[in-house]
Amino acid sequence: MDVNKMKEQFAAPAKSIFDAAERALIAERYDISKVLHSLMHRKAVEGFEAEISDEMNARRHPTETNLGAVAVPYCALVRTLGKGNGGAALVATDLLSDEYISPLTERLVLRKAGARFIDGLVGDISIPKGGNVGAYWITSEGNPATKVTPNFTQVNGTPHTVGAYVDITHKLAMQSSLPAQNLVGELILNAVARAIDTAGLCGTGSDGQPLGLVGTTGINEVEDIVPDAPKYLDLLNFVAALDAANIDMDALKWLAPSRVRAKLAATIDAAIVENKAKTENVGAITSARYLCDKNMVADYPLLTSNLCPAKKAILGEFSQLILAGWGEGVDLLVDHYSCSTSGAIRIVAFKDADVLVRYPEAFAVGQILA
């Protein structure tokens, strides 16, 4: 077994279907609203967008034809998923963009926390995971070192399919305004992205979902926290659990829902001075701190999203969490028949993904609220 070759293979994310120059060209030229407009009006997707879809399908499914779905690469979605808090960045102001009210949705947080995204996979995957090798002192000159064989294991991933759809009314389908259809694409693609983020954090491992971080065996459980009454020592126990596991302490971040952040930001940890017999307070309160101050908790940054498990806080080194994707981008289908009685059109997006935790010991979770 060539360990160095194995390390090189899995040290970097899987290679994209397209190289860097191709991705830059796609990001500049690709028009998802043109794709949606063609599909909704039962026209074949043409031009540059059709060439990209054909190329993706040919590389991903070389033996299949007439797949039916239009493949949309991630690099074409940067303008959709990478800007703004909704569709406002996509809609021209001279086309009454203020008439389009984007929904208030949970913030995507895992990429910002440092989770790794690997896309463009084909087939099930196994990532080798090796154990440490011990060192030994030589008792006397000429005696051999003790031989230790590292114990390699694997972290496995299999595709789980997530889908999202939106029904477009007949009047909107007849609307020639491409910004309006851009908004439709933004809504459905963000729905898929939120589903994958949610699965990464708290997927159940059943009903088609991947098993998320919180349910993974081996994650550190911080116990003995009094719900609704957290103390600074409780937060230090999160830190201590990861420090004991030899985790990179400089890379840690907290994740929590907004109610947990509010509780920590409103809770004061006080230090007092007592006499030697510890029978009375001789100095009153000498110092006090809020458990969360300027989005810092126990000296580590806190990121909030209501996609996080309710009532809990997570501290971790999130580069040890991998969100794996099969294919590149998402597949879009347009269904003209399910809502035919109302004249509406259904747009459906599909993505295959899984959640892999390289080292569960790199994370600690505890319940803060009752």
- Strand runs labelled E in 135-233: 153-157, 160-168, 220-221
> What average pLDDT score do residues 39-61 get?
82
The residue written with tokens 């070192």 in the block is 145
Contact of 333 with 53, CB cutoff 8 Å: no
pLDDT at position 61 is: 63
> What average pLDDT score do residues 194-214 get?
95
Judged on CB neighbours under 10 Å (0-12, 13-18, 19+), 311 is middle
Contact of 369 with 227, CB cutoff 8 Å: yes
Q: How many CB atoms lie within 10 A of CB 164?
A: 19
Name the class of domain 1-129+151-259+293-370. Answer: alpha beta
Q: Which of 52-61, 233-242, 353-362 has the lowest mean pLDDT?
A: 52-61
pLDDT at position 195 is: 93
pLDDT at position 282 is: 61
Q: What tens digit of pLDDT does each residue of 7-23 get?
A: 333 333 444 567 778 88
> What average pLDDT score do residues 182-190 get?
74
Contact of 35 with 52, CB cutoff 8 Å: no
pLDDT at position 179 is: 61
The number of CA neighbours under 13 Å toward the Cβ of 253 is 18
pLDDT at position 118 is: 87
The number of CA neighbours under 13 Å toward the Cβ of 251 is 15
Is residue 306 scored above 50 in pLDDT? yes
CA distances from 220 to 55, 128, 239, 315, 369 (A): 44, 22, 10, 10, 18
Percent of the chain with pLDDT over 70: 72
Whole-number CA gyration radius for the chain: 26
Positive/negative CA dihedral, 259, 262, 266, 269: positive
pTM of the model as a whole? 0.75
pLDDT at position 84 is: 38
Spell out the alpha helix ranges (H) of 17-119.
20-29, 32-40, 47-60, 78-81, 110-113
Structure tokens at 131: 């154990």
Rounded Cα gap, residues 303 and 297, in angstroms: 10
∠ at Cα 217 (225, 191), nearest 5°? 90
Q: What tens digit of pLDDT does each residue of 119-170 get?
A: 888 888 888 776 666 677 777 776 776 666 666 678 889 999 999 988 887 7
pLDDT class of 245 with cuts at 50, 70, 90: very high
